[in-house]
Structure 1
Amino acid sequence: MATRNIGQHDFAEVVQAEGMVLVDFWAAWCGPCRAFGPTFEKASEANPDIVFAKVDTEAEQELSAGLNITSIPTLMLFRDGILLYSQAGALPAAQLDELIEGAKKLDMDDVRRQIAEAEQKAAEKAE
Protein backbone atom coordinates (compact mmCIF):
# COMPACT_ATOMS: atom_id res chain seq x y z
CA MET A 1 0.00 0.00 0.00
CA ALA A 2 1.35 3.40 -0.86
CA THR A 3 1.43 6.19 1.65
CA ARG A 4 -1.54 8.53 1.92
CA ASN A 5 -1.67 12.18 2.86
CA ILE A 6 -3.87 13.06 5.80
CA GLY A 7 -4.67 16.27 7.63
CA GLN A 8 -6.89 17.91 10.20
CA HIS A 9 -10.07 16.75 8.44
CA ASP A 10 -9.31 13.01 8.64
CA PHE A 11 -6.46 12.53 11.14
CA ALA A 12 -8.64 11.32 14.04
CA GLU A 13 -10.65 9.00 11.81
CA VAL A 14 -7.50 7.42 10.36
CA VAL A 15 -5.56 6.89 13.61
CA GLN A 16 -8.58 5.71 15.61
CA ALA A 17 -9.42 2.97 13.14
CA GLU A 18 -8.79 -0.67 13.92
CA GLY A 19 -5.36 -1.91 12.89
CA MET A 20 -1.97 -0.26 12.70
CA VAL A 21 -1.26 3.26 11.44
CA LEU A 22 2.15 4.87 11.04
CA VAL A 23 2.14 8.65 10.62
CA ASP A 24 5.14 10.59 9.32
CA PHE A 25 5.09 14.33 10.11
CA TRP A 26 7.30 16.07 7.54
CA ALA A 27 7.90 19.20 5.47
CA ALA A 28 9.28 19.65 1.95
CA TRP A 29 12.10 21.94 3.16
CA CYS A 30 13.33 19.39 5.75
CA GLY A 31 16.41 17.46 4.61
CA PRO A 32 16.05 14.60 7.10
CA CYS A 33 12.36 14.31 6.13
CA ARG A 34 13.27 13.97 2.46
CA ALA A 35 15.94 11.39 3.36
CA PHE A 36 13.43 9.36 5.44
CA GLY A 37 10.70 9.49 2.78
CA PRO A 38 11.99 6.58 0.64
CA THR A 39 12.46 4.41 3.77
CA PHE A 40 8.87 5.13 4.84
CA GLU A 41 7.57 4.43 1.32
CA LYS A 42 9.50 1.14 1.08
CA ALA A 43 8.12 0.02 4.45
CA SER A 44 4.59 0.83 3.23
CA GLU A 45 5.10 -1.40 0.21
CA ALA A 46 6.42 -4.23 2.41
CA ASN A 47 3.50 -3.95 4.87
CA PRO A 48 0.24 -3.63 2.90
CA ASP A 49 -1.75 -4.47 6.04
CA ILE A 50 -0.66 -1.20 7.71
CA VAL A 51 -1.82 2.33 6.92
CA PHE A 52 1.16 4.59 6.21
CA ALA A 53 0.12 8.24 6.41
CA LYS A 54 1.97 11.50 5.94
CA VAL A 55 1.15 14.89 7.45
CA ASP A 56 2.72 17.93 5.79
CA THR A 57 3.45 20.13 8.80
CA GLU A 58 3.55 23.27 6.65
CA ALA A 59 0.06 22.68 5.27
CA GLU A 60 -1.28 21.30 8.57
CA GLN A 61 0.18 23.74 11.10
CA GLU A 62 -2.86 23.68 13.40
CA LEU A 63 -2.88 19.87 13.54
CA SER A 64 0.88 19.72 14.10
CA ALA A 65 0.72 22.30 16.88
CA GLY A 66 -2.18 20.48 18.51
CA LEU A 67 -0.11 17.29 18.58
CA ASN A 68 2.96 19.15 19.94
CA ILE A 69 5.08 18.38 16.88
CA THR A 70 8.15 20.52 17.52
CA SER A 71 10.74 18.68 15.45
CA ILE A 72 10.50 16.86 12.15
CA PRO A 73 10.46 14.25 10.98
CA THR A 74 8.31 12.85 13.78
CA LEU A 75 6.91 9.36 13.57
CA MET A 76 3.79 8.21 15.43
CA LEU A 77 2.53 4.65 15.55
CA PHE A 78 -1.04 3.81 16.50
CA ARG A 79 -2.63 0.41 16.86
CA ASP A 80 -6.37 0.05 17.36
CA GLY A 81 -6.55 3.77 18.12
CA ILE A 82 -3.89 3.63 20.85
CA LEU A 83 -0.72 5.69 20.48
CA LEU A 84 2.18 3.27 20.99
CA TYR A 85 5.12 5.35 19.74
CA SER A 86 5.87 9.00 19.14
CA GLN A 87 9.39 10.22 18.52
CA ALA A 88 11.18 12.81 16.45
CA GLY A 89 13.97 11.74 14.13
CA ALA A 90 14.32 9.64 11.02
CA LEU A 91 14.67 5.93 11.66
CA PRO A 92 16.98 3.73 9.62
CA ALA A 93 15.12 1.02 7.70
CA ALA A 94 16.14 -1.75 10.14
CA GLN A 95 14.85 0.20 13.14
CA LEU A 96 11.58 1.01 11.39
CA ASP A 97 11.14 -2.68 10.61
CA GLU A 98 11.83 -3.56 14.28
CA LEU A 99 9.29 -0.97 15.44
CA ILE A 100 6.65 -2.41 13.11
CA GLU A 101 7.36 -6.02 14.09
CA GLY A 102 7.31 -5.14 17.79
CA ALA A 103 3.95 -3.41 17.44
CA LYS A 104 2.52 -6.37 15.53
CA LYS A 105 3.51 -8.74 18.36
CA LEU A 106 1.88 -6.69 21.12
CA ASP A 107 -1.06 -8.23 22.97
CA MET A 108 -3.48 -5.32 22.63
CA ASP A 109 -5.82 -6.74 25.27
CA ASP A 110 -2.91 -6.53 27.71
CA VAL A 111 -2.12 -2.98 26.54
CA ARG A 112 -5.73 -1.92 27.11
CA ARG A 113 -5.68 -3.56 30.57
CA GLN A 114 -2.51 -1.66 31.50
CA ILE A 115 -4.04 1.62 30.32
CA ALA A 116 -7.20 0.97 32.33
CA GLU A 117 -5.13 0.19 35.45
CA ALA A 118 -3.08 3.37 35.03
CA GLU A 119 -6.23 5.45 34.56
CA GLN A 120 -7.76 3.86 37.66
CA LYS A 121 -4.68 4.69 39.75
CA ALA A 122 -4.67 8.26 38.45
CA ALA A 123 -8.35 8.64 39.32
CA GLU A 124 -7.74 7.31 42.83
CA LYS A 125 -4.89 9.79 43.34
CA ALA A 126 -7.09 12.65 42.17
CA GLU A 127 -9.77 11.86 44.77
Structure 2
Amino acid sequence: MNFIQRQMYNPVALVGAFFALLILLIGVLWILIPPPPKTIEMATGFPSGLYYQFGERLKVEVAKESVNLKIKSTGGTIDNLALLSDPKSGVDFAMVQGRVANLTQYPQLISIAGMFYEPIWVWYREGVFKR
Protein backbone atom coordinates (compact mmCIF):
# COMPACT_ATOMS: atom_id res chain seq x y z
CA MET A 1 0.00 0.00 0.00
CA ASN A 2 2.86 2.30 0.74
CA PHE A 3 4.16 1.85 -2.85
CA ILE A 4 0.83 2.92 -4.37
CA GLN A 5 0.60 5.98 -2.15
CA ARG A 6 4.10 7.04 -3.19
CA GLN A 7 3.33 6.61 -6.91
CA MET A 8 0.00 8.45 -6.71
CA TYR A 9 1.70 11.83 -7.18
CA ASN A 10 4.41 10.63 -9.57
CA PRO A 11 3.60 12.11 -13.02
CA VAL A 12 5.42 9.32 -14.87
CA ALA A 13 3.40 6.68 -13.02
CA LEU A 14 0.13 8.53 -13.71
CA VAL A 15 0.87 8.81 -17.44
CA GLY A 16 1.90 5.14 -17.55
CA ALA A 17 -1.31 4.06 -15.76
CA PHE A 18 -3.40 6.20 -18.11
CA PHE A 19 -1.85 4.64 -21.23
CA ALA A 20 -2.14 1.14 -19.74
CA LEU A 21 -5.87 1.68 -19.16
CA LEU A 22 -6.27 3.18 -22.63
CA ILE A 23 -4.58 0.19 -24.27
CA LEU A 24 -6.71 -2.18 -22.21
CA LEU A 25 -9.91 -0.35 -23.23
CA ILE A 26 -8.96 -0.37 -26.92
CA GLY A 27 -8.11 -4.07 -26.73
CA VAL A 28 -11.47 -4.93 -25.16
CA LEU A 29 -13.37 -2.87 -27.75
CA TRP A 30 -11.33 -4.44 -30.56
CA ILE A 31 -12.47 -7.88 -29.45
CA LEU A 32 -16.09 -7.09 -28.56
CA ILE A 33 -17.12 -4.79 -31.43
CA PRO A 34 -16.78 -6.40 -34.88
CA PRO A 35 -15.59 -4.25 -37.78
CA PRO A 36 -18.09 -3.27 -40.48
CA PRO A 37 -18.41 -5.69 -43.40
CA LYS A 38 -16.14 -5.24 -46.41
CA THR A 39 -18.62 -6.91 -48.80
CA ILE A 40 -22.24 -5.75 -49.15
CA GLU A 41 -24.93 -7.04 -51.51
CA MET A 42 -27.58 -4.65 -52.77
CA ALA A 43 -30.70 -5.44 -54.79
CA THR A 44 -31.57 -2.76 -57.32
CA GLY A 45 -33.90 -3.52 -60.23
CA PHE A 46 -33.78 -4.08 -63.97
CA PRO A 47 -30.32 -3.59 -65.59
CA SER A 48 -31.80 -0.91 -67.84
CA GLY A 49 -33.39 1.00 -64.95
CA LEU A 50 -32.36 4.03 -62.94
CA TYR A 51 -31.93 2.07 -59.68
CA TYR A 52 -29.42 -0.29 -61.28
CA GLN A 53 -27.45 2.61 -62.75
CA PHE A 54 -27.40 4.29 -59.34
CA GLY A 55 -26.16 1.03 -57.80
CA GLU A 56 -23.30 0.89 -60.28
CA ARG A 57 -22.28 4.47 -59.44
CA LEU A 58 -22.53 3.70 -55.73
CA LYS A 59 -20.30 0.66 -56.27
CA VAL A 60 -17.55 2.91 -57.66
CA GLU A 61 -17.84 5.33 -54.73
CA VAL A 62 -17.74 2.73 -51.94
CA ALA A 63 -14.81 0.97 -53.66
CA LYS A 64 -12.77 4.05 -52.75
CA GLU A 65 -13.35 3.07 -49.10
CA SER A 66 -12.26 -0.56 -49.75
CA VAL A 67 -15.83 -1.88 -49.66
CA ASN A 68 -16.95 -4.40 -52.29
CA LEU A 69 -20.57 -3.71 -53.30
CA LYS A 70 -22.26 -6.54 -55.17
CA ILE A 71 -25.19 -5.36 -57.29
CA LYS A 72 -28.04 -7.84 -57.73
CA SER A 73 -30.39 -7.23 -60.62
CA THR A 74 -34.02 -8.00 -59.75
CA GLY A 75 -37.50 -7.60 -61.15
CA GLY A 76 -38.18 -4.48 -59.09
CA THR A 77 -39.58 -3.38 -55.77
CA ILE A 78 -41.63 -6.46 -54.95
CA ASP A 79 -38.65 -8.76 -55.60
CA ASN A 80 -36.41 -6.49 -53.52
CA LEU A 81 -38.81 -6.63 -50.58
CA ALA A 82 -38.94 -10.42 -50.81
CA LEU A 83 -35.14 -10.62 -50.83
CA LEU A 84 -34.83 -8.28 -47.85
CA SER A 85 -37.32 -10.26 -45.80
CA ASP A 86 -35.52 -13.56 -46.53
CA PRO A 87 -32.44 -13.86 -44.27
CA LYS A 88 -30.95 -16.55 -46.54
CA SER A 89 -30.96 -14.33 -49.66
CA GLY A 90 -27.71 -12.58 -48.75
CA VAL A 91 -29.10 -9.15 -49.68
CA ASP A 92 -28.17 -6.47 -47.15
CA PHE A 93 -29.70 -3.39 -48.82
CA ALA A 94 -32.28 -2.84 -51.54
CA MET A 95 -33.79 0.06 -53.40
CA VAL A 96 -37.56 0.13 -52.97
CA GLN A 97 -40.12 2.62 -54.29
CA GLY A 98 -41.70 4.74 -51.60
CA ARG A 99 -45.05 3.71 -50.11
CA VAL A 100 -45.03 0.30 -51.78
CA ALA A 101 -44.15 -1.82 -48.75
CA ASN A 102 -46.90 -2.66 -46.29
CA LEU A 103 -45.34 -1.89 -42.90
CA THR A 104 -47.38 -4.56 -41.14
CA GLN A 105 -46.06 -7.18 -43.58
CA TYR A 106 -42.41 -6.07 -43.23
CA PRO A 107 -41.98 -4.83 -39.63
CA GLN A 108 -38.26 -5.74 -39.51
CA LEU A 109 -37.28 -3.48 -42.43
CA ILE A 110 -35.92 0.01 -41.86
CA SER A 111 -35.70 2.84 -44.36
CA ILE A 112 -32.34 4.61 -44.17
CA ALA A 113 -32.55 7.23 -46.92
CA GLY A 114 -34.74 8.77 -49.56
CA MET A 115 -32.96 8.64 -52.91
CA PHE A 116 -35.15 10.06 -55.67
CA TYR A 117 -38.23 12.16 -56.06
CA GLU A 118 -40.63 10.06 -58.15
CA PRO A 119 -43.68 11.99 -59.31
CA ILE A 120 -46.71 10.07 -60.48
CA TRP A 121 -48.07 11.09 -63.89
CA VAL A 122 -51.76 10.67 -64.54
CA TRP A 123 -52.82 10.57 -68.20
CA TYR A 124 -56.34 10.66 -69.62
CA ARG A 125 -58.08 10.92 -72.96
CA GLU A 126 -59.48 14.30 -73.86
CA GLY A 127 -63.04 13.12 -74.42
CA VAL A 128 -63.44 11.42 -71.05
CA PHE A 129 -64.49 14.53 -69.06
CA LYS A 130 -66.64 16.19 -71.73
CA ARG A 131 -69.76 14.19 -70.89
Common fold by TM > 0.5: no
Q: Which has the higher contact order (CA 8 A, sep 6+)?
A: 1
State the structure with more CA Rg. Answer: 2
- Structure with the higher fraction of residues in strand conformation: 1
* TM-score, normalised with respect to structure 1: 0.30
